[in-house]
Structure formats: C-alpha cells, structure tokens
C-alpha cells in the first residue's frame, strides 16, 4: 500500500526526458481518478525520507499535451487527494528581462494573467474564491527553492514576474513589447490556473522557472537544428546550457523539499478560512467542490 505524499512536484517541459531517479528512490506510480477525469501519472518518490509525487505536466512521452489542454483540475485534485500540502512546479519560459540568459533560474514572485479561456476555479457555482493573490506564490516554498537553486547554480534570480499567455501559439513581438512595459520578466503558459486551484484547496504553490529561450523580438531568431520544444529557438551553445539547467531541476527540487519545515506558517493554510468561519464549508475539502456537473 502506497502511503500519502507530503509534496507534489509538477514537472514542466523536458520532464519526460529526465530520469525521475534524480529526485530520489522511485517507489511506485499511480493515476488518480478525479471528478474531472484522470490525473497525469504520478511517480511516487522517496526523497531522503520525504514522500513526494512527481507528475509530468505535458505528458509522458514528449511534449504531447500543450498548456491550454492540460487537465489542471484533475492534477491539482490528485495532489490534494494524495495528501500533498505543498506543490512545487517548474516551467520553461522565455526571457523578457534583458538581464536574463538561457539556463538561468527565476523564483517567481508575481504573475500577470493573460490567459483567456481556462477554468480558473473549483467553485464556479458556489460563491467562494475571493482569495488574495498577493502574494501569488507561497513565500515559504519560494525561499526554499531559492536556497536550493543557489546551491547548484550561480544564476538564480530571487524574484521575477511571469506573464502567462493562453497558447499553444507563441507570442507576437508586439505582445512582448507590451509585456515588457508592464514589468514582466518572463513569459510562458503554465502556472495558470495551477496556482489558483492549489490555493483554493489550501495547498502551498511555488514555481521555479528556467529560461529556455528569448521572447520574440528581443533576440534575432537564429537558425538551429537543435531538438526539443525550445531547441529550434536557440543556437547550439545555448541549447547545451539549457540542457544542463534542466538536468539540475530534480536535484534543486528535492533539495528544496528537504529544506521545508513540516509545519506551514503561511497564508495558504487558511485560504478558505473565511468560508469555514462563516459555516459555508466543512472540514472535508471534497465537499467544497460541486462535482455533479464536472
Ligand atoms: Zn504556503
């Protein structure tokens, strides 16, 4: 019988090429049946005595599910069902801020949501969901991620604003110029709605981004025959740097998990408290969500 997990890792682009043994000892795997359909496959991993799950957001064999089509509800439900109190995600993103280079890591601290047609809530018909997004990402998990990443790379940025677009298409050069004036540092397609959904079920969520390419219009596109989702956007030397950074992610994430204290002292724990205090919801989170029409 597989035990409960403490943390769920949602691994981003290139996860399907990684050896999950890099996180720790793989002890099994499961797929969770949820009211929203099947979750992504969860590899259950013993990370230095801490039970964690790892799922590949974009599929098991290559980039088969693009960002708008990920079953975010099923994946976040699965994390909660398996017992996770925290979620750590990673994602590849394009650099908008000129200080950033391919292979750098950014611990996200804010978000501009430019998605257009995702399902943003577990509570469409219940009147819950007025949940603060300042901070968007859990500061406890962010700080562990920063500490861990700094052990493995000199190129770690403590903060960064992520603009999340709908996709699957990439952005136009004009869109990037606008995002730049808004103060966005990186652009990608994935933390929305993961972070909102995690918070609605009172789980912590933080994300480490690695720079996989330069946003459109910032660097002249160059010819390349590199493989992978972002490879065609990069010259060969940068593709090698990118590969190295991706290989570090399991180490960074498992180290961050070992740095987290067991008790949480952050607003994520009480995200739904006002509804509990009002008597709108009980202790069993399953009953918070109306699953009849899902
Ligand atoms: Zn938290």
Radius of gyration of the chain (CA): 18
Peptide bond into 168 cis (omega under 30): yes
| Structure confidence at residue 224 (pLDDT) | 45
Q: Cα separation of 234 and 225, whole Å?
A: 9
Domains in the chain and their CATH numbers? Answer: 7-288 (3.40.50.1580)
In angstroms, what is the span from residue 68 Cα to ligand 1's centroid? 26
Angstrom distance (rounded) from CA 119 to CA 139: 25
CA distance 250 to 255: 8
**Looking at the chain, which runs of residues are DSSP E strands?**
7-11, 25-30, 33-34, 37-38, 42-47, 50-56, 86-95, 105-107, 110-114, 156-157, 161-165, 186-188, 204-214
What's the gap in Å between 219 CA and the centre of ligand 1?
A: 36
For range 103-123, the mean pLDDT? 96
Tens digit of pLDDT for each residue in 43-95? 999 998 999 999 998 877 777 888 999 999 999 999 999 999 999 999 999 99
Q: Are strands 86-95 and 186-188 parallel, antiparallel or unpaired?
A: antiparallel
43 HSE (CA, 13 A, CB side): 24
CA–CA separation, 67 vs 69, rounded Å? 5
Sign of CA dihedral 15, 40, 42, 163: positive
Could you give the C-alpha distances from 236 to 88, 102, 225, 230, in angstroms and in order? Answer: 30, 12, 8, 12
- Taking the centre of ligand 1 as the mean of its atom positions, its distance from the CA of residue 85, in whole angstroms, is 9
141 C-alpha to ligand 1 centroid (Å): 7
pLDDT band of residue 3 (cuts 50, 70, 90) is: low
* List of residues 6+ apart from 134 with CB closer than 8 A: none
- In order of 122, 125, 268, the CA distances from 135 in angstroms are 20, 25, 10
Interval 119-164: pLDDT, tens? 999 999 888 889 999 999 999 999 999 999 999 999 999 999 999 9
Task: Give the C-alpha distances (Å, rounded to integers) separating 230 from 106, 234, 248, 282.
Answer: 17, 7, 17, 45
Average pLDDT over residues 212-229: 68
Model confidence pLDDT, tens digit, residues 14-49: 777 778 888 999 999 999 999 999 999 999 999 989
Distance 229 CA to ligand 1 centre (A): 31
How many angstroms separate the alpha carbon of residue 234 from the centre of ligand 1?
Answer: 35
For residue 29, the SS3 value is: strand
Global pTM?
0.93
């Amino acid at each position: 019988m597989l035990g409960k997990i403490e943390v769920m890792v949602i691994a981003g682009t290139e996860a399907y090429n990684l050896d999950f043994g890099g996180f720790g000892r793989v002890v099994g795997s499961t797929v969770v049946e949820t009211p929203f359909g099947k979750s992504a496959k969860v590899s259950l991993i013993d990370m230095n005595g801490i039970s964690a799950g790892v799922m590949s957001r974009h599929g098991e064999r290559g980039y088969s599910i693009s960002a708008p089509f990920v079953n975010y509800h099923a994946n976040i439900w699965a994390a909660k069902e398996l017992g996770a109190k925290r979620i750590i995600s990673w994602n590849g993103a394009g650099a908008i801020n000129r200080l950033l280079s391919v292979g750098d890591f950014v611990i996200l601290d804010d978000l501009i949501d430019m998605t257009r047609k995702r399902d943003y809530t577990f509570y469409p018909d219940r009147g819950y969901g007025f949940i603060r997004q300042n901070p968007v990402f859990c500061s406890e998990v962010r700080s562990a991620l920063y500490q861990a990443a700094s052990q493995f790379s000199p190129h770690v940025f403590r903060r960064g604003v992520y603009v999340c677009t709908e996709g699957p298409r990439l952005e136009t050069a004009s869109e990037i110029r606008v995002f730049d004036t808004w103060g966005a540092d990186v652009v990608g397609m994935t933390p929305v709605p993961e972070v909102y959904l995690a918070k609605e079920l009172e789980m912590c969520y933080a994300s480490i981004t690695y720079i996989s390419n330069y946003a459109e219009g910032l660097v002249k596109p160059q010819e390349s025959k590199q493989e992978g989702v972002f490879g065609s956007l990069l010259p060969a030397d940068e593709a090698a740097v990118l590969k190295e950074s991706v290989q570090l992610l399991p180490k960074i994430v498992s180290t961050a998990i070992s740095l987290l204290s067991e008790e949480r002292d952050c607003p994520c724990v009480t995200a739904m408290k006002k509804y509990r205090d009002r008597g709108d919801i009980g202790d069993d989170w399953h009953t918070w969500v109306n699953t009849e029409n899902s």
